[in-house]
Amino acid sequence: MPTLRLNVKCLSQCSKQIQDHLIDNNDNQKEYHRAYEAPILWQHIQAAKKVSINKSYN
């Protein structure tokens, strides 16, 4: 089983963008942005895992 190495730079940038969205908007919009951005962060995590797995096999 390959070791998963997440792209930390990508993840930190994504999470910073999410925080920026949350900070920039009022309370009513925070929930919308959280609901919208969280799946995007999840997709980045999954993509980073796939890249790590592919690199470890190649």
The pLDDT tens digits for 25-41 are 555 555 555 556 667 77
Note the pLDDT of residue 57. Answer: 52
Note the pLDDT of residue 43. Answer: 73
Does residue 52 fall inside a structural domain? yes
**Is 15 in contact with 41 (CB distance < 8 Å)?**
yes
Q: How many domains does the chain have?
A: 1
Report the half-sphere exposure of 53 (CA within 13 A, side-chain side). 7
Print the domain residue range for 51. 8-23+30-57
Does residue 3 fall inside a structural domain? no
Does residue 53 fall inside a structural domain? yes
pTM of the model: 0.30
Does residue 2 fall inside a structural domain? no
Note the pLDDT of residue 1. Answer: 45
- Taking 70 as the pLDDT cut, the residues of the chain under it are 1-38, 51-58
Token readout for 44 is: 């980045």
Residue whose token pair is 């999470």? 15
By CB atoms closer than 10 A (0-12, 13-18, 19+), residue 50 is exposed
